[in-house]
Chains A and B, each alone.
Chain A
Amino acid sequence: MSDVKQLKHLEHLEDEMLNEGVAGCKKIVQDLQAVRKILGCKGGNAGFLQTKWDGKPAVICGKDPANGFFFVSTKGALNKQPVCCYGHTSIDDNFGKIPDLADKLKQCYDHFKPLGIKGIIQGDLLFVKGAPFDKGGVGSEMIDGVDHWTFKPNTIKYAIPKKHPIGKEVAARRIGVVFHTHYSGPDGRIHHKQLLSELSDKPGIRGESLNASNTVLNIQNDTPVADIGFDHSEEVMFDQTVKEIESECKKCGPFLDELVGLGGGKGNPKGEEKFHIAPYVKSYFNDEVKPKSESQVTANIDQTITQLLAFYDKKMTKFISGYKNGNTIAEKKKLVGESVLFVANHTTEFKALLKLYKKVQSLKQQIIDKLNPLEKDWKMFAKSDSATFETTSHEGYVLHRDGDRVKLVNRLEFSKFNFLFQ
C-alpha cells in the first residue's frame, strides 16, 4: 500500500499497480482478500474498514512532545518546521491571514483542549456552530418531509434527522469532528522532545480515552461491517473475480514493472522521465473522472488508450512549448515520440493493464455498494450543478491492513462533485 509515513495522502486501491508494479498487484489482491475476510460469511480479523468523511479542515491536535502544551494545527503540524498553535494569539499569528480557518481552529482549541488528549490525534472537522452554513456551520432543512440538521464542510452535504440520537447531539454540541488517526513514534509511543515530523500515523484513536464533553460531537468512523456480509453467491462471484485479477496481475506484472522503472510510480517525474508516458498513466485516470476532462470514462479499452495518448500529448505539447531552440525541441520531441511508439508497440500489454485496472475498479465499486447502506441514518448530497443537490453516498472507505491503508472511493462520482466547483 501507499508508502506514507504520515497521513497526508491515501492511495486508491487500483493505483497501487501503477505505483509499485508487481508488488502493487500483490497488495491489491491481498487487500481484496482482506475485504473478503472482513465482509465474508465467516467474518475474520484481516483488518478493518473506516468510513471516509468529507470533513474540512483536517485538524491535528494534542500534546506537543517538545513542551507538553496542548496545540491545534492543520497538517502543517507535520512539516519539518511544524506549525503548532498553543492558544488564540498563536492561531492568529500562524493562520490570521485566513480568518475562517483561524476562527475554526480557535473553536477547536477551546473545545478539544478539555478532552484531555494525551497523545496526538487527527480528525476532519464536520461543523462549527456559529459559522455560516457555507463556511462549515449547521443548517436546518426539511428533506422528504422530515426535519434534518445539515452541514457541508467540504463537497458533500450531510443530513441527519433532528429526532435521531445523533441529530439531538448535533443540536446540543458546538463542534462536530471525526477523529480517525493517532500519531506515535517507532516504538508506539511519543517521547519527550520527539520531533512531530518523526511520528507516524496509525488508524483510529483507540489509545485515547477522551473526557466526556458537552460541546464536542465526535462521530465514530469505524465502518459497522458486522451489520452486513456477503451472501454465498456474492462470495463465489467475489472470489472468482479476485482469482481473475490475480491471474491477470501475473500477465501484466512484467510490463507494470517496466512502467514503474520508467517513472510510472512517481507523481513528480524529473529529467527524461518527465517526457515519458509512464508517469502520466496515473494522472490520466485522475483526469478522466473530472467533469471538464476531454476524456470520457469508458469500458472501451481502445478508446481509453487513444484518450490516454491525447492526454499525454497535450501535456507534452505544453512542456515543449517552453523551449525555443529547434534542436532542443527535436530532442524533447524524440523522447515523446518514442514514448508514443512505446505505447503503440505495446498495445497488447497496455490493453491488458487497462482491463485489469478497470476490473479492480469494478470490484472495488461492488464493495462500496455493499458498504454504502451501512450508514443508513445519514443522508448525503452533493451539488450536481450550481443550484441542485443530488443524493450521493459516503466519500468512501479506508481499508487498514497490517498497518498499511488504502482508500476505496467511487472516483467518478466523488471526483465529479469534488472538481465541479473548483
Chain B
Amino acid sequence: MRILAVSGSLRSASHNTSLLRALREEAPEGVEIELWDGLAEIPAYDADDDLVPGPDAVEELRAIVRGADAVFFSTPEYNSSIPGALKNALDWASRPLATNVFRNKPVAVVSASAGAFGGVWAAAELRKVLGAMGSRVADVELAVGHAGEKFDEHGHLIDHEVRDTLREGLEILISEVTPAEVALEA
C-alpha cells in the first residue's frame, strides 16, 4: 500500500512536514509513505491553462495522487484557513471535478500550529474542500497545538501522546483503503 503525505507548509523547518516525517516512522510493514515535495512548483490556478494535459507540475501531482492508495495531509493554519498554496494545488487536482484524482480517494487531515488550537479551523476547511472534491474523508482528528514544544531541535516528534494519536490516525486511514465488508445495519 502506498500513502502520499502532503504538507501544507513550504517552510523548511515546518512542524507539519516534521509531523509527516514522524508519520512515516509509524508506517506498518507493507505500507510505504511518500512525502510529496512538489507544492512550490504548482502554478497559480488559471482556467485558461486548465487544458489536457495541464502544466507539468500539475500532471505530476495528479499522477502521484492517482498512484497512491490514500493521502495523508498535515496543514498549518493561515488566517483561520488553509494555506493558499495547498488550496491552489487542490483546485488544480480537482479538475475536472467529476473524474478528478481525489474522487473516492481515502484521505486524512491533521494539523499543527504554534498556537493553542493547533490549526483546527484549517483542518476543518481542508476536510470540507476534500469532501467537495469527492474524497473519502477518514474520521481522523489531530490538531497539534503549541507545536514548537512537541518537536526537538532536529524536527523529531518527541511528544508520545501526539505520536500515538498520529499512529491511530494512520491506522484509521489504512482501514479506509481496505474496509471490512460493510454490514447492513438494522
Note whether A and B form a binding pair.
no
Residues of A within 8 A of B (CB): none
